[in-house]
Structure 1
Amino acid sequence: MLKFYGYKKCGACRKAEKFLQQAGIPFEFVDIMENPPSTNELSAIVELADTSVNNFFNTSGVQYRELKLKEKMPILSNREKLALLAGNGRLIKRPLITNKEHATVGFNEEQFSKIWR
């Protein structure tokens, strides 16, 4: 079963939920603000998504700007980046979905059709 880390007020999360529901794909919803994935979970998800940990940051979010992460990203290690994400669900790009074999970050209908159908 898919684990869906999201936020109910997030537009991309609502689109992803609708997509999965219409496709009849069951998932467990986890509120990313209350229960962000751990550093170890995030590390595994980054590997499964086959992308940079940088792509897991919600760069348009208030927290990202307030923490001035754009300037800090080049000097942070991947371990430090994962710790930031695990400590603050608002920093994570949503939705974050995994089934422990595949993972996606954000909502892209074409990508969802390939991976989650």
Structure 2
Amino acid sequence: MTQPLFLCHPRCSTCAKARAWMGEHGIDHTERDIRIDNPTVAELTLWHTVSGLPIRRFFNTSGRLYRSMGLKDKLPSMSDEEAIALLATDGMLVKRPLLVIPDGAGDPVTVLVGFRQNEWEAALL
């Protein structure tokens, strides 16, 4: 199996918890700093589709950038395409950690947004 892709922010405490959890369970992964290597529109579009989640779940709603841009009020009137284009502009807008679990061919089959231990256990163990 191809390794999961773990998108995180190095100073994020939730990302640290998720990283530690994966370490405790021997889950190898590829790590990507979401600030330096922000997800692209194509990646976000695919991950959004695979996840089946509403696009709002991909936003870091507790982040300073989200609040300063007034996205709480703007997001409901945006199309998914507009929201994805906005997410692709800055990794700090994206909820983290984000874990993309591929199949044997490397295509994403599961996308986990945020660290909810029970969801990660179900997907990885």
The alpha carbon displacement at 1:116 in A equals: 1.5
The alpha carbon displacement at 1:94 in A equals: 0.3
Give the structure with the higher percent helix: 1
* Structure 1 equivalent of residue 70 of structure 2: 68
The alpha carbon displacement at 1:115 in A equals: 0.6
RMSD: 0.8
| Counterparts of 1:28 and 1:109, CA distance in 2 | 19
Query: What count of residue pairs does the alignment treat as equivalent?
Result: 117
- Runs of 4+ deviating beyond 3 Å: none
- Report the AA paired with residue 18 of structure 1: A
The alpha carbon displacement at 1:22 in A equals: 1.0
* Structure 2 equivalent of residue 87 of structure 1: 89
- Mind listing any 5+ residue stretches in structure 2 that lack a counterpart? 102-107
| Counterparts of 2:124 and 2:49, CA distance in 1 | 17
| Counterparts of 2:111 and 2:21, CA distance in 1 | 16
1:7-66 residue CA offsets vs partner (Å, 9 max, x unmatched)? 111011001101111111110110001111111111111122221111010111100011
* Structure 2 equivalent of residue 103 of structure 1: 111
SS in 2 for 1:101: strand
- Mind listing any 5+ residue stretches in structure 1 that lack a counterpart? none
TM-score, normalised via structure 2 length: 0.90
